[in-house]
């Protein structure tokens, strides 16, 4: 499987301190291989038809993504304090 990122995701990861950045990259590698990797806190946020939106918790950060065939699309990485208001406006 491969990963595709929303444009702001890579910019956000670049701004992080080395510790959280390393943890997030490990989690991203895990979802590249398996959309529901064992050993991680993964939750289904919403199901829209044949697509599901997942949240993977990594410390104080959340990765929001959708597996689609051989690709996994990463919508956002957010700090836990940011909340999911933006998610309600997401157009699948």
pLDDT band at 56 (very low <50, low <70, confident <90, very high): very high
Contacts of 2 (CB under 8 A, 6+ apart): 32, 70, 71, 72
| pLDDT range class, residue 89, cuts 50, 70, 90 | low
Q: Is the CATH number of domain 2-80 3.30.2310.20? A: yes
How large is the angle between the packed helices 7-14 and 18-33, nearest 10 degrees?
140
Domain ranges of the chain: 2-80
User: Residues of 52-77 as b/e, b for ≥16 C-beta within 10 angstroms?
Assistant: bbbbbebeebbbbbbbeeeebbbbbb
Instruction: Encode pLDDT of 23-45 as tens digits.
Output: 999 999 999 988 889 999 999 98
Q: Assess whether pLDDT exceeds 70 at residue 90.
A: no
Residue 73 pLDDT greater than 90, yes or no: yes
pLDDT for the residue numbered 45: 86
Which H or E run includes 62?
strand 61-68
């Amino acid at each position: 499987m491969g990963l595709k990122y929303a444009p702001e995701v890579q910019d956000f990861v670049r701004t992080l301190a080395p510790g959280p950045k390393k943890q997030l990259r490990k989690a991203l590698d895990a979802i590249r291989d398996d959309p529901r990797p064992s050993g991680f806190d993964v939750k289904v946020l919403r199901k829209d038809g044949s697509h599901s939106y997942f949240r993977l918790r990594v410390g104080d950060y959340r990765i929001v993504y959708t597996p689609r065939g051989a690709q996994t699309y990463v919508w956002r990485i957010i700090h836990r304090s940011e909340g999911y208001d933006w998610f309600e406006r997401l157009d699948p």
